[in-house]
Structure formats: structure tokens, C-alpha cells
Amino acid sequence: MDQIRVLIVDDSAFMRMVLKDIIDKEPDMKVVGLAKDGIEAVEKALSLNPDVITLDVEMPKKNGLDALSEIMLKSPTRVIMVSSLTSKEASITIECLEKGAFDFIQKPAGSTSWTIRDVQDELLIKIRESMNVSIEKLKSIHFVGSKKIKKSARVNILGEKVVLIASSTGGPRSLDVIIPQLPENLNVPIIIVQHMPAGFTASLAYRLDKISNLKVKEAEEGEFLQKNVVYIAPGDFHLGLKQEDHKIKLFLDKSDKINNVRPSADFTFDLAAEIFKENSLAVILTGMGRDGAKGAFKVKHYGGKVIAESKETSVVYGMPKIVAQEGYADFVLPNYDIAEKILEILTDQSRGIKR
């Protein structure tokens, strides 16, 4: 089997050395080049034609976002961003995910060889997983034409309902298509469980809020669920719901990972389905693994509806594929048709089951 050819881009000589050491120890990978800034990254992407690039976010001469944009234009490649946990870098990282990067890893605080090795398994998994994704999909998915729903679209919602969304790898791009299409008077709360580390979910919420009709925010401990607000589960916390004084309160939970992730969609969906029963609508978007499958089953058990993103627009057709294969999905749709279907279901206009 051919080795995966990797180009490492980082302005730190130490980081380049550590990443090279991690990758070169794998029999199915080899480092074919090193670059110390964004300009060199673009040059070597063109000359070496690597399979995968690990790309630092903050660099001299040309930052990771600018380098990524040029690489995706001139020599489209699978790119994994390497980001420090600062508000600036987290914000740029989210933008990179929306503009063609496959995924990202977080640089551990301190960046010593010991702390870097804490994330080596995640890096290696993502390098291998990226090889299952077509370059064409990474190039085109950001430019999927969406049908804009008017800001003041008439929505006639009966009863208390909730929309639950699970997403992982490729999720920010699908959310970027779906959430801005929804009207400001949707009249239901939306809860998003996106697999991301602490710090990055706040940047995701901020970016989505800027381009959406609805208010988008990172969920906080103890706040009450409100209509016309999109809540994003904070990184490294499960997000729960409980009834209190005829209201629904959100809480953050640090219990063990579920499906090897925290936040887990299964954790949130399970509790939400118990409260909202047949008035739950679950949406399972692109991502690795099977998180959301048990939650989708729970929603179906209580008579709620489930939408799974189709292979056509999923960066990784993992989570939605399992939901569809196990028979939990009422609808399997490309991301650009999901907002319209959400509105149909919420307003009881939906008829029949489509696959």
C-alpha cells in the first residue's frame, strides 16, 4: 500500500521536528517536506503534491487561512489545521474549516514533546481518515448553493418543540449552510452538539451568530432554554436538559466521554427526547463515528422525527450513514435542503418518508 505523503507546515522548528517524528514512525505515512511559513507552504504544496498537509494557523508572512485559501485554489489538498487555543486562532481555525480544511488538532498548552504526544493519536487518526474524503468534496462543499429563507418567513408552530443537531468532522460547513437559512421567528430552540475541544465552540457560535437570523451562543450552566436561540454545547462538556418550575434548564456535565467524545449528542438527545417526546426533531450531520445514533433512536422511540445528512454533502459519511442504515432516519437530505425540511416538519406540513 502506498504511504500517505505529508507536508508539515509550522513556524516552530521544534513543532516541525516533533510532528515529523510522530508521522515518520508510522509505516503507512512519510513526511515529504517541511515549511516554516505560509509562503513556503504554498510553494511546497505545488512542488511536492502531498496527500495531506498539517498547517499551522498563526505564521509569519502568510497565515494559515491565507495559505489554505491559496492552496485550495492552486493545488487542492487535504489539510489539517494545527491551532493554539487563543481566541484569535480559534476564530481563524473555524473559518479554515468552512473554507476547505478537513479538520484540526489543538496544540497542547506548553507544546513540549510530552504534551504534543498527548494528541498524536488524534493527529494520526485524522490523517488516515482524511484519505477517505475526495478532494472534490473539500473544494466544493463550501460553495453549495443554498436557498435562502426570508428573514420574516411565516412559521406557525404549535406546542413546545425542539431541534437537536449532531455534527462532527465537516460540521461547521454544513451548519454554515443550514442555520443561516432559518428565520428569526422560528419559535423553537435549537441545540447543536458539535465535536470540538473547549474554546473552539465559542468561536463557532460567534461566527454562526454573525451570519444567521437567529441568535447563536455557547450554552451556559443554569440558563433556561429559550425559543429563537441556537445553543452550542461547550467543548469538553456534555450538555444536559432538566425541567424546573415549568421551564427547561441547561446544565453542563463532565462525566466520562460517550462514543469517545465530550460533548456527546447521545447524552443531549437522550435527555431532550425524555422531555419533548414526539415534539423532538433530530438532525444528524457529517462526522466520524456513531455519536447521535442512540439519540436518534430515542427520538424515534418517542415519536419524533429524524433527518440525516446525505452522502452527497457529508465530508465524512459516518454518523448520518449509521442513522440511515439502522432505519432511524425519516429523511436523508443534502445539507442545502435540510433547513427547508426542518420548517416543514415543525409546521406539520411534512408528508410521508423519503430516502
Residues with catalytic roles: 168, 195, 291
Angle between helices 38-48 and 64-74 (to 10 degrees): 20
* Helix (H) or strand (E) segment spanning residue 341: helix 335-346
Helices and strands of the chain, counted as H and E runs: 13, 14
DSSP result, 89-137: HHHHHHHHHHTT--EEEEPPTT--HHHHGGGHHHHHHHHHHHTTS-HHH
Q: Which long-range contacts (CB under 8 A, 24 or more apart) does 13-19 make?
A: 14/111, 14/113, 15/56, 15/82, 15/107, 15/111, 15/116, 18/113, 18/116, 18/117, 19/54, 19/82, 19/116, 19/123
Cell numbers describing residue 150:
426570508
Question: For 76, left (φ over 0), alpha (ψ -120 to 50), or beta?
Answer: beta
Q: In what order do the strands lie in the sheet with 229-232?
A: 215-218, 229-232, 190-194, 162-167, 280-284, 305-309, 331-333
* Helix (H) or strand (E) segment spanning residue 66: helix 64-74
- Distance between CA atoms of residues 28 and 48, nearest Å: 18
Cell numbers describing residue 181:
437559512
- Distance between CA atoms of residues 255 and 101, nearest Å: 31
* Cα-based distances in Å from 111 to 76, 341, 350: 29, 45, 52
